[in-house]
Structure 1
Amino acid sequence: MPRRALTICTTPGCPEYTEGGRCQDCRARAEAQRGSSTQRGYGTRHRRRFRATVLARDPHCVCTDTSHGHDDPCGQPSCHADHYPRSRRELVAAGEDPDDPRHGRGLCGPCHSRETAAHQPGGWAAEQG
C-alpha cells in the first residue's frame, strides 16, 4: 500500500511533519489538557444514572442519520449513551442536569463517532482543523 504524503501538523505554529492531523507531541499535549473523563463530568454518577439507563432504554442504535441508505435507525447494538439533542456542555450552560437520561439516546460506535465528529463543539472535526 502506498505511503501517505506527509503534511505539516495542523496545530498552528507547529512545523512538524505528520501523516495527517496533529503530530504525536501536539496530540499528547491536547489530550493532557483535555483532562480525564471524570474531570470532564463523566464520573460514577454519569455512568450509573445516565449511561446505564440510556443503554437499557435504547439497546439498539436509534441514529437518525441517513448515510446508511434509509430513514430508519441502523439498529446495531448500542454501546454509547449520547447526549441529544443538546450536548452535555449546552445542558450544563442552561442549568439542566446533564445526567438526566431523558437528554440521551443510545448509539452504536460508528454512529456515535460520526455524530461527535460532525456536530459537537470540540469534536474530532474541530480538532483536525
Structure 2
Amino acid sequence: MPSRPKPPCSRPGCEHTKPCPVHSREANRQRGSAAQRGYGQQHRDRFRRGVLDASPVCVLCRAAPATVADHWPKSRKQLVAEGLDPNEPSYGRGLCAPCHGKVTAANPAQRGGWYAG
C-alpha cells in the first residue's frame, strides 16, 4: 500500500514538506524554549503540582483525571503583565487534556500553530 504524501510547508511559496527544515527552525527560534517562555522548573514543581493536588479531577467535565494545570481565570501572560506570580497555584485549575485543548482552541489569544491567525 502506498504511503500518504507529506503535507506541504504552511508558508506560502515554500516548496518543502512538513517538517520544513527552514521554517520550523525559524518558528522554534522565535518562540523560545519552554523554560524561556516561563514553563521551567518552578512551573512544574510549584504551579503544576499545586494545581493538580488541589483538583485531581477535571473541573470542566468532572469525569476524567486532571492531567493539565491550566492558568485560570487569567492567562499566564496576563498574570505576568499585572505583576502577579504566574506560578501561584491559586491562579490555576486542573483539566483533562481534551478539555484543555477545547478551552485553548476557543480562546483567540491562546491559539497556536496554523490556527494562530
Following the alignment from structure 1 to structure 2, what is the Cα–Cα distance between the partners of residues 81 and 108?
9
Following the alignment from structure 1 to structure 2, what is the Cα–Cα distance between the partners of residues 8 and 47?
33
Unaligned runs of 5+ in 2: none
Following the alignment from structure 1 to structure 2, what is the Cα–Cα distance between the partners of residues 95 and 120?
23
Counterpart in the other structure of 2:29: 32
Percent of pairs identical after alignment?
42
Per-residue Cα deviation, 1:37-56 (whole angstroms, up to 9, x for no partner):
11011111111111001001
Counterpart in the other structure of 1:101: 89
CA contact (8 A) 2:69 2:94 kept: yes
Q: Secondary structure at the match of 2:79?
A: helix
CA contact (8 A) 1:117 1:125 kept: no
Following the alignment from structure 1 to structure 2, what is the Cα–Cα distance between the partners of residues 128 and 23?
18
C-alpha RMSD of matched pairs (Å): 2.9
CA separation of 1:78 and 1:118: change in aligned 2, threshold 3 A: same
CA contact (8 A) 1:51 1:80 kept: yes
> 2:28 is aligned with what amino acid?
E
Tell me if 1:55 matches 2:52: yes
Number of equivalences = 115
Counterpart in the other structure of 2:69: 81
